[in-house]
Amino acid sequence: MLGFLLRYVLGHYDLSQYAEVIVFTDRIPVKGKRNAVEKAVKITLSKMLPKTAQYRLLHHDSKSNFQLQIADYCNWAIYRKWDRKNLRSYDLIKSAVKSEFDIFRTGTTNYY
């Protein structure tokens, strides 16, 4: 899923304009899973980025990283909207939401 997210986000930018891409993830406690996530991200980024661009993959505890806390809250608010029809939290962030799509509904990853 992270690969789809990276392609969706980065696909909207001219990546030749950037020297480096930094990807933050929450710390993944199980080493085997962490290695699998790192491999997937590295494969996706190496295919997408120009050969001159570099990337870094950083694992932080979400409790100590404001960007991850914001992402978690936004995802939670959107989940509550879809799962429970509860708009209270979503209404607080909706002006910042650029797009939403249910990748599993259509069975396709063609979302550009």
Q: For the whole model, what pTM was predicted? A: 0.75
Are residues 81 and 87 in contact, defined by beta-carbon separation less than 8 angstroms?
A: yes
Residue percentage of the chain with pLDDT more than 90: 41
At 108 the pLDDT is 57
At 112 the pLDDT is 45
Beta strand ranges found along the chain (DSSP E)? 20-26, 54-60
The residue written with tokens 């190496």 in the block is 46
Q: What share of the chain is helix, strand, coil (3-state, %, to 5)?
A: 60, 10, 30
pLDDT in tens, 57-104: 999 999 999 999 999 999 999 999 999 999 999 999 999 998 887 777
At 107 the pLDDT is 58
